[in-house]
Structure 1
Amino acid sequence: MYDLPYHKEQNDQVIKELIDKHPFAFLTGCDAQNKPIATQVPIFMEERDGRQLLSGHIMKNTDHHKAFLHNEHVLAVFTGNHTYVSGTWYDNPHSPSTWNYMSVHVKGTIRFLDGEALQEVLRKTSLYFEAQNQQSPTVYHNLPEAFLQKVMHAIVAFEIDVTNIDNVFKLSQDRDAKSYDNIIEKLKDQGENGRAIADEMKRRTREVFPTS
């Protein structure tokens, strides 16, 4: 991981908020031949009995399911907004361009669950994306029983015991104040991702430049 101290977020709540806001994570591990495997799946973080846990569900008998059964060590990557930053926006324009982004890497050990645990994960997932609308026909407890019986045997819930959380919030913290302000102004014209990064940088101005 890109590992410079001024690109690290120290506030655990901010890290948790990024995970909650961007749950569609990249989940990866290694199979029995030590070949990398990966899938993308909604994953949710919670704390239970003093432990940090990730939970979600996947289809059974896929390459990633088989790999995780063989090797319990996994990495989940949560990626927030990101955008190109042109070197021409710096006070000294004869500089290489870069990319600003926010990312959280969570390592842990995975185990699989069926039965009520799977039902709970599906309920939580469907409610989250239906904005907690209990009446939505696609929320787990409103789905037809015949449909649930047909598909439940093909999927499995998982929990990941978190062993390490790392992050990169690369937001031009290493630039001078004039360049920093100019990057913010330029990003406002760079679409949704650019505006989101500009807003995040704006919020951090006093933190990055406490004496200005």
Structure 2
Amino acid sequence: MLGLQNKLFPNMYKLPHYTADNQEDLLEFMHNNTFITLVGFDGEFPVATQVPVKTIVDGETIKLIGHIMTKTDHCKAFEHNPNVMAIFTGPHAYISASVYEHPASASTWNYKTVQAKGIIRLLSSEETYHVIRDLTNKYEDPETSPAAFNKMDEAYIQKHLKAITGFEILVTQLDHVFKMSQNHSAKNKESIIEHLEKTNDVLAQEVAKEMKRNL
């Protein structure tokens, strides 16, 4: 669909049966898992921060929009080196081989992740204002929420805006792993799902739901 480099075997644990059928599945995952780890490089060490983003698709272009605190190590790194990677993650769970038809084998971990590499551009104060407004409106209903952006005092917004820098990432490459025991027998999958559903682990239960959808 989009004019991006999407390697079949990038530097990830990625095998054909752990990949999505099309890029729309990746974009849906990105839209549903908006709290990312944003990674850059300051010339000596990797730097990272966790931030919510909005994924915008415009024709052949994918952009990630968000904001970070100004004068932090990661903000300074992004100023000097615009090459970044955004890591999207979803529910994950330990999968014990004890529930397999043949349990004397390796256990594993089920998970879904998308890595979006791209070029970051730090935004002006005016652009940052619009980013904060758009992100707030994504989670707070402008019509009904008392915490909506349009309910905030303008002086309050301008005061806090001084400490924030918006960003826009032009995505140039998408890599992913959607590992949900696709290489196992139907009986193994059913046993894994049953086991995960019985745990008190919310993430494990979400993995079970995902596996059920794929049966």
TM-score (norm 2): 0.89
Secondary structure in 1 matching 2:90: strand
Secondary structure in 1 matching 2:43: coil
Consecutive aligned runs of 4 or more in structure 1 exceeding 4 Å deviation: none
Q: Deviations over 1:54-86 (max 9, x none)?
A: 110001110000001111000000100111110
Match of 1:209 in 2: none
Q: Deviations over 1:115-168 (max 9, x none)?
A: 3321221112112222x3434232222211221121111111100000011111
Match of 2:19 in 1: 8
Structure 2 contact 142–150 (Cα < 8 Å) conserved: no
CA distance in 2, matches of 1:90, 1:73: 43
Of 16-25 and 43-52, deviating more is 43-52
Structure 2 contact 114–175 (Cα < 8 Å) conserved: yes
Name the count of aligned residue pairs.
Answer: 203
CA distance in 2, matches of 1:98, 1:41: 29
CA distance in 2, matches of 1:48, 1:140: 25
CA distance in 1, matches of 2:66, 2:105: 43
Aligned CA-pair RMSD: 1.4
Match of 1:83 in 2: 93
Secondary structure in 2 matching 1:81: coil
Aligned: 1:123 with 2:133: yes
Q: Which residue of 57, 61, 83 maps to 2:67? A: 57
Aligned: 1:41 with 2:48: no
CA distance in 1, matches of 2:38, 2:143: 29
Counting aligned pairs with the same residue, the percent is 42
CA distance in 2, matches of 1:73, 1:197: 32
Deviation, 1:39, is: 0.2
Unaligned runs of 5+ in 1: 206-212
Q: Which residue of 58, 68, 83 maps to 1:73? A: 83
Q: Which residue of 23, 33, 44 maps to 1:22? A: 33
Secondary structure in 1 matching 2:91: strand
Match of 1:31 in 2: 42
Return the letter of the residue paired with 2:17: Y
Structure 2 contact 97–105 (Cα < 8 Å) conserved: yes
Of 178-187 and 35-44, deviating more is 178-187
